[in-house]
A = this chain, B = another copy of it.
């Protein structure tokens, strides 16, 4: 496995690494950022937080605007931000912002022409931990996952689909029921085909309805988020968790929108919440 280092930058007493590697899951080069806190510089294994970004984003958005390094440096968390899809001239794309490159939806596509590259679930769950562990001292027994919007969908569904893999899961303004909203219907239909039964395996609310479980979930959601009623619909997650006995902490935040001004405000809360569970 070869990791190409694109940049190494000192920040908050730790180091931001931007690296690239050839992914066997996606068949493309994939770029990600890894924040290594001061506690890990001696090589001591540290817990890892996987942060999955939303539509149109690369690793760079949260790396520049997420304001996570101060808390990670304090708490001793390695923070990894992967890309949201395979990219490249040979990768099928779409002119819309909400489909194709930048919109992988953290699942393995089964439909042509997407099935050759859009394998983001196996990338995030299997390959990425191996890649990061080859160069950084992450403790694979202590993994947490979080994300924003489409990445919140990714965090919730991957935690539900891989029980025991992640000690804790949270999300910022997640797409909780992609089968029931326009962003999700478009993407799941194209990546997985018309059979909606297959969609349920990549839909947090449907997974819970069908028996998947995590012990608890933290979600922050801005009340002034312009996607709230149409695409996000946290009340559906609330109902599913209530029915399943999952301890959902859903915090509706008055006045907050869908941007990194919202995410950065509550990032520290999420990191502390994960750290408590990762070090228990």
Chain A residues near B (Cβ < 8 Å): 9-13, 16, 64-65, 67, 69-70, 222, 224, 253, 255-257, 259-262, 264-265, 268
Contact = CB atoms under 8 A, between A and B. Distances in A.
Contact of A10 (B11, B65, B67, B257): B257
Given A64-B64, A65-B64, A12 B260 contact: no
Number of copies: 2
Nearest to A265: B12
Contacts of A265: 10-13, 69
Nearest to A255: B10
Contact of A67 (B16, B70, B224): B70
A117 to B, nearest CB: 30
Task: Name A's interface SS.
Answer: mixed
Contacts of A69: 264-265
A264 to B, nearest CB: 7
A10 B9 CA distance: 29
A268 B70 CA distance: 10
Contacts of A65: 64-65
Nearest to A257: B9
B261 A9 contact: yes
A208 B69 CA distance: 37
Contact of A11 (B13, B16, B262): B262
Given A65-B64, A67-B67, A70-B67, A262 B224 contact: no
